[in-house]
Amino acid sequence: MRWLRTLILSGLLALSIGFGSPIGLPLAAAQKADQTVYIVQPGDTLASIALRYGLATVDLAKANGLINPNLVYVGQPIVIPAATPPATATPSTPRAKLASIANRLHIVQADETLFGIALKYGTTIQSFIDANQLSNAGFIVAGQPLIIPITARSNEAGTAQPRTPLPAPFTGLDIGQLPLQQGSLMEITIHASQPVSLTGQFGNWSIPFIQDGDRYIGLVGVGAHPVTGVTPGLHSVIITATQDNALPTVISSNVQINPGHYNSEYIRLSADRQELLDPQNVNSELAKLNAAWTVFNPIHYWTGLFRVPVDKFIKISSPFGTRRSYDGGPFVSYHEGTDFAVPAGTPVHAPADGVVVVAEPLSVRGNAVVIDHGWGVFTGLYHLSEIKVTPGQTVKQGDLVGLSGNTGLSTGAHLHWDIRIRGLNVDAMQLTRQVFP
Ligand SMILES: [Zn+2]
């Protein structure tokens, strides 16, 4: 697990009354607007830090006046240059240009496959999928930048909890799991020196925190579509701690959101299903489901990885995030889940433990089962031919919840699985690859 521990000095300085210069850095450096400082953690290299912020290692070394970029130390503040504009004087030769980016990104060429790229870098397809959170390895496109996975890196070192120079009562702030992209699930872990009341904000989204032993955890979805979600780039996470009779303490952290690189697809609907697209139809169903999705259940039901809800499938017929046009209309919506091509009647299993909150026929989603996994995480399983559970029923991972089908707004037998975090869709497949707390 790799964590980003970072703090924006401007955020700290806004509340500096009472704790002076707690981080021991020259204030002059701290007062520069929009400057992010990253504190080097165990296991970090300058290259890995550059990767997190989408920068070239040489640029980061230059910005920090580092003569030997191989020598960074734990606790060292590294200034992250603000939005790096494209170099005006581009290197004159292609070779020079390549050298400046070769240690972080690979730009997919027209004739390349992921297998070929993995082979080129002497690593596996899976490590590329993990590093880039690719929901479907088959969907790489020419011109797409791929993060080259960092190998030979100790996971043990990355999870050590060092003393961090945060204002009291904060003693640690971790943001994972990196790299983050549109459609990701973001996990925020706070350590505090004493019990506190925490609130968080990411864009328009508030972040509820749950105490788990000596840490507080918040889960927040990163929107997949620029219309309703976030645009790629740097975004702030703001955390406020409140204690009895004390002024609130606020820290903030910049996180890099990478583009989702989603494809587009055109969908044609047969005449008898057209009426399902009627906004009134769509919205009344959504309102009903929102009432279920937005209930925050503090019980944490699941453990470990989620599983794909079918034992086997022919293919992923439509991955998460694909921009959709219905019958030639504009691409204003996106695919909110992952579609598995399976014959009708295929057993559908609970992806993780939870409680069934919806089990009924809906007009757009067809026969639907929604499972509350706790902490604001919900599974939706749609277009079923049969429902095998009832609302209020507790399910364990792998339990039969229904049979796949072709009901509702569907153009053939398949299973649609989606994950929502307090109503916001994220890529469900991420939870089958990465363990969230
Ligand atoms: Zn679907």
Q: How far apart are CA 374 and CA 301, in angstroms?
A: 6
Helices and strands counted in the chain (H then E): 10, 28
Strand pairing of 264-267 and 323-326?
Answer: parallel
First to last CA, the chain: 12
Can you give the pLDDT at residue 88? 36
Q: pLDDT grade, residue 305 (50/70/90)?
A: very high
Can you give the pLDDT at residue 98? 28
Q: Per-residue pLDDT tens for 55-107?
A: 888 888 888 888 766 667 666 778 888 654 433 333 333 332 222 222 356 76
Q: Per-residue pLDDT tens for 197-212?
A: 999 999 888 999 999 8
Cβ-count burial of 145 within 10 angstroms (0-12 exposed, 13-18 middle, 19+ buried)? middle
CA 430 to ligand 1 center in whole angstroms: 16
CA 204 to ligand 1 center in whole angstroms: 26
Q: How far apart are CA 200 and CA 236, in angstroms?
A: 10
Whether pLDDT at 11 is above 60: no
Fold of the domain spanning 1-104+148-259: Immunoglobulin-like (2.60.40)
Contact 37, 6 (CB under 8 A): yes
Can you give the pLDDT at residue 167? 81
Q: How far apart are CA 369 and CA 389, in angstroms?
A: 8
Can you give the pLDDT at residue 151? 57
CA 188 to ligand 1 center in whole angstroms: 29
Can you give the pLDDT at residue 225? 83
| Segments making up each domain of the chain, as ranges | 1-104+148-259, 264-433
**Cβ neighbours, 10 Å, residue 117:** 18
Please list all protein residues whose beta carbon sits less than 5 angstroms from ligand 1, which is an ion.
337, 339, 416
Can you give the pLDDT at residue 104? 56
Q: pLDDT grade, residue 381 (50/70/90)?
A: very high
Can you give the pLDDT at residue 252? 79
Residue 220, both tokens: 């927040």
CA 336 to ligand 1 center in whole angstroms: 7
Q: How far apart are CA 400 and CA 381, in angstroms?
A: 12
Q: Give ∠ CA 104-107-113 in degrees, rounded to 5.
A: 115
Choosing among 2.70.70.10, 2.40.50.140, 3.10.620.30, 1.10.760.10, the CATH entry for 264-433 is: 2.70.70.10
Torsion of CA 349, 353, 355, 359, to 10 degrees: -10
CA 367 to ligand 1 center in whole angstroms: 13
CA 428 to ligand 1 center in whole angstroms: 12
Of 414, 272, 418, 267, residue with least CA distance to 343: 414
Mean pLDDT of 175-198: 89
Strand pairing of 205-207 and 197-202?
Answer: antiparallel
Q: How far apart are CA 125 and CA 115, in angstroms?
A: 6
DSSP-assigned letter for residue 41: -
Mean pLDDT of 158-166: 41
Q: Look at the block and give the residue holding tokens 């503090």.
A: 298
CA atoms within 13 A on the CB side of 253: 24
The secondary structure element, H or E, covering residue 128 is helix 125-132
CA 405 to ligand 1 center in whole angstroms: 12
Q: Per-residue pLDDT tens for 221-240?
A: 999 987 777 888 878 888 99
CA 318 to ligand 1 center in whole angstroms: 7
Q: pLDDT grade, residue 331 (50/70/90)?
A: confident
Can you give the pLDDT at residue 222? 93
Buried b (16+ CB within 10 A) or exposed e, 271-304: eeeeebeeeeeeeebbeebeebbeeebeebbbee
Name the more confident of 413 and 155. 413
Q: Per-residue pLDDT tens for 102-154?
A: 235 676 666 677 877 777 777 777 878 877 777 766 667 666 667 777 652 32
Of 48, 47, 59, residue with least CA distance to 84: 59
pLDDT winner (highest mean) among 147-156, 159-168, 213-222: 213-222
CA 61 to ligand 1 center in whole angstroms: 45
Contact 337, 418 (CB under 8 A): yes
CA atoms within 13 A on the CB side of 231: 2
The single-letter code of the amino acid at 128 is F
Mean pLDDT of 164-173: 77
